[in-house]
A and B are shown apart, each in its own frame.
Chain A
Amino acid sequence: MTVLIAILLLILAVTSLGVVLTREPRRQAIAMGANGLVLGLLFLAFQAPDAAYSEIVIGGLILPLLFMVALSTLRTTGKKK
């Protein structure tokens, strides 16, 4: 196991913990994106660039983006018109 993979595994543990511990939906979306990005980089370190690509675009890009879009349309004020 190289140093690079060890470092990436450590960062992955930290970002995964971040996903679990985050409670606010918008922050959750960002935390999930960060986790997907690190996971993709780990795949890249394992010399699987194609799987890394899929993981980065799905886990790091489209999934948080979809969540952010959905959340941005769902902001509530608590006040009634």
Chain B
Amino acid sequence: MAPPANRRSGHSRRAQYSSFFGYLAGVLGALVGIVLLILSIRNPDLFSEPRAVASAAVEPAGVASSRTREAGRDVFSVVEGYVLAGIRYDKLSRELALTRAQLAETQAIKAENRRLKRLLGITETELKPIAVTRLIASTAASSRRFATVAVGRNQGIANGMPVRSQLGLVGRVLQAGPGNSRVLLITDTQSLVPVRRARDDVAAFAQGRGDGTLVVRLISLGINPLRKGDVFVTSGAGGLYRTGIPVAVVTSLTADGARARVLSDPAATDYVIVEPISARPAPESSAAPVPAPSPEAAAP
């Protein structure tokens, strides 16, 4: 491509000045950027209101896009269904027989649990979900993992509320705007979820890695008791999340813990449920952005 002729300033004083001021404006823009960066790193909540307004402006597009994604998934699953129908039917009917037996067992355990709790005098507090909503946007191009949900302060959402799907924990509300809220996904590197192994009480912390997986760090060091396929649920330590929400499944072991895959992939989530903050202990840590990883706070 030939260079455009009008970019040479030549001897024209006016052209030289306009070229100079152009560069000056560019440098000034960069300086403004640095100032904004320092401000936003010092005070992360400073720009949350403009962001909420900006998200509200594109909310209809976000909802439409979310509906399209859903429909697209349906189309794919229909095609996939035709191809894999036979194999899947066979597999499912075998699994169903197994699950029926397990379901009966679970119901028995539940009944026993209720009876024992009544015996101990623990009152069961049912946590009613605050809102059921869609994920309308995510920061797909940034290394930070945020998502936007279509409910906000007007619907009773407050900062710190856990967000989950049917499959497991998705994240928690970071900044509740008037009509939408920014959610910190559990795969973000800033997110730290106190977890325990589902079948026993091996306590750990699950930290995001930013790429869809989690690092599970055991609290008590020693021989690594984890196995591939172990499921981790929230332990409820710190009072931010209630106990027993599924979080992740172990995919490979490391020296002091494991790498785990998130059970509730936000990419495959249609609807999410916003739950109230669990009223269990340590209310002061729920105000902090990250619960402090102290062993005594996380002990079950």
Same assembly: no
Chain B residues with CB under 8 Å of chain A are none
Binding site for B on A (CB under 8 A): none
